[in-house]
Amino acid sequence: MKMSGGVLCGGSSRCNAVPLFLNHRAASLRISSSSSIPEHVSFVKDVAVTQPPQHLSQLLTILKTRGETIISPGAKQGLIPLAIPLSKNSSGSVIALLRWPTAPPQLEMPVVEVKKHGVWLLAKTVDQYIHRILVEEDAKDSQERNEELFHASADVGEKLYRKGDFAESGISNLDSYLLKKVGIFPDVLERKVKRHFDEGDQVSALVTGEFYTKKEHFPGFARPFVFNAEVMLRVGRKVEAKDAARGALKSPWWTLGCMYRDVADIAQWDDEQIEYIKEKVTEEGRQEDLKKGKAPAQVVLDEAAFLLDLASIEGNWDGYLERIGKCYEEGGLDDIAKFILYKQ
């Protein structure tokens, strides 16, 4: 059962519409184990070989100010290999940048929370995440508010958010303010749908769930389709839920926001998709694609994407690194291969 469609995945035919955007330079920089903020900027430039977000240093300062531990960008062991670690909080959650293997030049790296089986999107850009942090801090009671965060954000904070604007806006609900003034976020939209259900407004819940899945909102991420499938199940639309779940599985499985099995159950699939992918990453599967006329470079990039999917099921990223890196190398993406295989 072949999969098609979707964008921005790890090189598979699911994202042929996305042009390659790679600045080919040697990833020669070695990052020390002591993590200082300038190291992250250098790492993004020289190892991830892409343009660092303009205000990355300010974000790191903000994360440190709110009590998180800044960690080395090269501390990738055990994490999805597309992540560039930034910080870790007291509960052990890691915040990172996501380095898509292929991406259009205008797309800034999103900020994600790294999970065992993949990532959860926190914000589409660094600036959006800084803006959200400042709004959420300003919305707190004056006794709980960390005033140092506003100082840590420096000039960029003032450009993104004027302190006191949330209170002056007259918008009583923080989530509503975020959606109107900051941007759209997966967790905020999901809470909005749940509130509609709690209020007995099923129509608004369905409309918001559908809005969540618009392709321009979260390109490359499967999570909106997973959540929409759950919404459809809740209102008894089992066929539509099945279709939505199968649509989600056309995107990278490490963007589902949950375990693969949870989505496969809604899609009413047993293990046929897993078996299909396992066949595709064998030498026989590769030769079959070549015989069908698929370009050799595309075949190995597809294989890299499939291997990332398989790794996400187990949460065993390190066990797949060598094969994934080799695929990107064979596909002509040497810089991505070096980034994937980087060890400090």
Q: Which H, E and C letters describe 240-282, residue by residue?
A: HHHHHHHHHCCCCHHHCCCCHHHHHHHHCCCCHHHHHHHHHCC
Q: Is residue 153 part of a domain?
A: yes
Confidence band of 36 (pLDDT split at 50, 70, 90): low
Q: Is residue 152 part of a domain?
A: yes
Q: Is residue 3 part of a domain?
A: no
pLDDT digits (tens, 9 = 90+) for 178-218: 999 999 999 999 999 999 999 999 999 999 999 999 988 99
Per-residue model confidence (pLDDT) at position 26: 30
Is 165's pLDDT higher than 80? yes
| Structure-derived torsion over alpha carbons of residues 297, 301, 302, 303, reported in degrees to the nearest 10 | 110
Beta partners for residue 95, in sequence order: 87, 113
Residue 199, judged by CB atoms within 10 A of its CB (0-12, 13-18, 19+), counts as exposed
Task: Give the domain range for residue 149.
Answer: 125-183
Q: Is residue 178 part of a domain?
A: yes
State mean pLDDT over 148-175.
90
**For the packed helices 272-280 and 296-314, what is the interaxial angle rounded to 10 degrees?**
140
Domain count, the chain: 1
Confidence band of 21 (pLDDT split at 50, 70, 90): very low
Q: Is residue 197 part of a domain?
A: no
Per-residue model confidence (pLDDT) at position 124: 96
* Helix segments in 161-315, DSSP class H: 165-169, 174-177, 186-198, 202-212, 223-234, 238-248, 260-267, 272-280, 283-291, 296-314
Per-residue model confidence (pLDDT) at position 30: 34
* In contact, 80 and 63? CB cutoff 8 Å: no
Residue 331, judged by CB atoms within 10 A of its CB (0-12, 13-18, 19+), counts as buried
pLDDT digits (tens, 9 = 90+) for 233-267: 999 999 999 999 999 999 999 999 999 999 999 99
Distance, CA of 311 to CA of 89 (rounded, Å): 25
* In contact, 174 and 135? CB cutoff 8 Å: yes
More confident call, 29 vs 156:
156
Q: Is residue 158 part of a domain?
A: yes
Percent of the chain with pLDDT over 90: 72
Is 39's pLDDT higher than 80? yes
Distance, CA of 58 to CA of 331 (rounded, Å): 36
Is 98's pLDDT higher than 70? yes
* In contact, 325 and 337? CB cutoff 8 Å: yes
Q: Is residue 172 part of a domain?
A: yes
Q: Report the SS3 class of residue 21.
A: coil
Per-residue model confidence (pLDDT) at position 8: 43
pLDDT digits (tens, 9 = 90+) for 231-241: 999 999 999 99
